[in-house]
Amino acid sequence: MTALSDLFPDGPRVADPGIAPLDDHHTVRRLREMIGAPRESGASARPLANTHELIRMVDAAAHQPIPGAAETNGTAPSGRRARRRVDALALASGVLAVVAVAAAATVGAVQMATASPAASSLQSLEADEAAIQNAYQSLVSTRDRIIADVETQKTDAASIRAALVSTGTAPDPASSEDGASIAVTDAAALQTALTAVDAYADGLAAIVVPDLPAEYLRPDLDEDSLVEVGSAIDAAQGQLVAADAALAATRGVRTQLDALRPTAETAVSAYAASFAGAAQRSIARYPDAAEELHVTLTDAAAIVGSANLWSPAGIAALEDYRDALVAVAADQVRFEIDRGQQQNNTQQGSPPDQDPTPAPEDSTDPSTEETSGGDTPPAG
């Protein structure tokens, strides 16, 4: 290796050959004039570098590229990188993924290449047919429920009307005439309820459920013919429109049916609420009946007021109240008969359950009777 002195044989600086180099001492003097004297350092001067030792170290580094590297396990490090181990599972997964992507791309390309307009139209036809089937099933279900509800409500209307009529009056125990009756409850409230029930029955009779449209059947067609498939799609869409219209009409009938009963139920509930007041008026009308019969009548009126008169239990409650009222009226008649008999017996001089007082025996001496010259008055 070449020393620094060998590299720069002309000294520290070489300027233009035509200009003589300045003296270093002159330069130092000029620097001191401009800047000032250098500071004194207390540190000891560093020894000059050993040029020969520096050359030796550079030559040694050239022969050993990685100086100072420690050996591991007594083996010199290899200049080549260790090869990574191949993972068989990862390799297989990657291969399968590539194969799957390639297969999907191939199938898609084949389908795109072999697809025909008729096949796509056939898929649209199948979708329309599925919608028709769902709409038809919904229409049949809604229509069947409406028909069943109409028949059930007709039966309910007939039952409640018969119950109101049969329990609205009762035979009059105080009359001997055939057909004589007494009002069980408020006649005006009964008439209002009957009018509402009759209107309800008339509304049920006026319900008309739409007929079902013809069930859809796919016509025979050539599935590869775009014209025939297109005609079938037009027919299916027309059938779907007809099914939707029939379903809308059926739902309108359901709305009409649901609006009928509330008015009748309100009138019947008002009639049931009138029984409490009717019971008090009946007690005032028949005050002489037994107290336990009055209590039974009041309890029966409370049951009617809280019952659902459209149910069999409600109809039974109406009948129980009617029977309780007849019992009260009959007991009042019995009381009046007994009171009339007692009055007749009092006017005749003795009550009917008491024997007449026997006349006392005649203890007068016949001689005394003749002496007095008069008849002895009969014993009173």
Say which residue, 99 or 205, is predicted with more confidence: 205
Query: pLDDT confidence of 332, banded at 50, 70, 90?
Result: very high
Range with lowest mean pLDDT among 246-250, 268-272, 374-378:
374-378
Q: Is the pLDDT of residue 378 over 80?
A: no
- 111 by Cβ neighbours in 10 Å (0-12 / 13-18 / 19+) ranks as exposed
Interval 300-309: pLDDT, tens: 999 999 999 9
Rounded average pLDDT over 5-14 = 56
User: 193 near 270, Cβ under 8 Å?
Assistant: yes
Q: Check pLDDT > 50 for residue 97.
A: yes
Q: Name the residue among 77, 75, 54 with its Cα closest to residue 66.
A: 77
212 to 145, 258, 332: CA distances (angstroms): 14, 21, 63
Q: What is the pLDDT of residue 363?
A: 47
Residue 152 corresponds to which tokens in the numbers above? 């059930």
Determine how many CB atoms are found less than 10 A away from the CB of residue 257: 18
pLDDT in tens, 333-366: 999 888 888 877 777 655 555 554 444 555 444 4
The candidate with the shortest Cα–Cα distance to 280, out of 298, 261, 305, is: 298
What average pLDDT does the segment 179-184 reach? 86
Query: In angstroms, rounded to a whole number, what is the distance separating the alpha carbons of residues 304 and 310?
Result: 11
Tokens representing 241 are 């429109």
pLDDT of residue 5: 58
Q: Which residues contact 207 (CB under 8 A, 6 or more apart)?
A: 146, 150, 253, 256, 257
**Highest mean pLDDT of the ranges 115-129, 166-180, 262-276:** 262-276
Choose the weakest-confidence range: 113-117, 126-130, 154-158, 197-201: 113-117
Answer whether residue 315 shows pLDDT above 70: yes
Structure tokens at 240: 């779907």
Mean pLDDT of the chain: 78
Both structure tokens of 3: 């020393």
365: alpha, beta or left? (left if phi > 0; alpha if psi -120 to 50): beta
Tokens 């005032």 sit on residue: 284
Provide, rounded to the nearest whole percent, the portion of the chain with pLDDT above 70: 70
Residue 380: pLDDT over 50: no
Q: What is the mean pLDDT of residues 104-113?
A: 63
Question: pLDDT digit string (tens) for 241-252?
Answer: 888 888 899 999
Place of tokens 């498939």: 229
